Amino acid sequence: MTTTARTSKDKLRKQVSKFYAHSVEGGTSCCGGDAVPRGIAAKYAGYSKKELSALPKDAVASSFGCGNPLSFSGVKRGETVLDLGSGAGIDLLIAAQKVGPKGKVIGVDMTDEMIARARKNVVAAGASNVEVRKGIIEKLPVESGTVDWVISNCVINLSPEKHRVFAEIARVLRPGGRMSVSDIVVEDLPDWVRKSAALYSSCVAGAVSEKEYLAGLRTAGLTDVKVIDRFVYDAVHMAGLVESELPDAGCGCGCGPEGKELLMKVAKDLEGKVWSAKVVARKPITSPAAPSRPRGHSRAGARRSRRS
C-alpha cells in the first residue's frame, strides 16, 4: 500500500473516531426538536427489555448498534468473548453476564471517549470480568488463537480495510471458535451517498454488499459463513437510523432545513437498499496430518518385516 493510500485510510479512521467522540458526548440528534433519541437503531435490534433493564442507562442510551450480535449466539459460561468496536459497552455487559465470573470479555475501541464511557459503565455494572483495550480492529491488541467468540455491532462497515478486519477475526479465534456480528450491508447505493462523510460515519456510505461481506470472511479462512437474520430499513427506519446517529457537532448536515432535507433524501433514495444483517461464521478445526509413509511401504509389508 502506498503512503498516500495509508494516510487516506488513517484520516478516515480519525474522522470516524472524532464523529463518535462528539456523538457520545452529545445526547440528541443533529436536527433537534422532536429528535429521534440516540441509539434508536439498538431499539430496532432485538434486545429484550430484560437485557436492557439490567444495564446502566448510559450504556443503552449511548448505543450505536444495528443489531444484537449475542442473540442466539450460544455463548457459554467460562468462554472468552471479543467485541470489535465495543463503544459504550452495551454488548460487553450482556456478554459478561453470559460468560459468568470464570469467563472473560474483551472490548477493543479506537476512540478515547468511548473507552472512558465503557470503563465507567463496566464499573457501574460491577462486571469484573470485562477489559477494554485501545486499538483498531484492523490490528487487534489480542493474542492469536485465544478467543472463543468474536462479536461486533455495526462497526466493521466503518473500516476502510475490511479484508484486514476479517483476517484479524480469523487470527484471534481459537480453532472451532465462532463469530457473530450484526452489521450494515447495502445494495446499489447512489454516488452521492458514497461521497457523504456524514453518511459514512452513520454506517451507510462505507458499507459493502452482503455478497462481498460474506466472500471476505471466506477468503480470510472462515467457514459456515452465512446470514441468519436480516432487518431491511424502509423509508421511516432509514431516516430514523441516520438521524439518530448524526451528532450535534461535525455531522455535516447541521440543524434546520439542511438537515431535514438530507433525511428526506436518505429516506427516498435508500429505502430497501440498506439492511442490518446478522452474520455468523466459524474458524475450522484443522486435524493433524497423518504421518506419510515411504512409497511402496505397505502395512502388510511392515507386518512381514516384524515377523521376519
pLDDT for position 283:
98
pLDDT for position 130:
97
Size of the chain, expressed as the number of residues it contains: 308
pLDDT for position 289:
47
In the predicted model, residues of the chain with pLDDT beneath 70 are 1-7, 12, 14-67, 72, 241, 243-260, 287-308
Burial status of residue 95 (CB atoms within 10 A of its CB: 0-12, 13-18, 19 or more): buried
- Classify strands 274-282 and 223-232 as parallel, antiparallel or unpaired: antiparallel
For domain 7-28+37-188+199-232+274-286, the CATH architecture is 3-Layer(aba) Sandwich (3.40)
Dihedral of alpha carbons 198, 202, 206, 207, sign: negative
pLDDT for position 99:
96
- Nearest of 41, 70, 165 to residue 110 by alpha carbon: 165
All three cell numbers of 73, joined, read: 449466539
pLDDT for position 204:
85
Reported pTM: 0.78
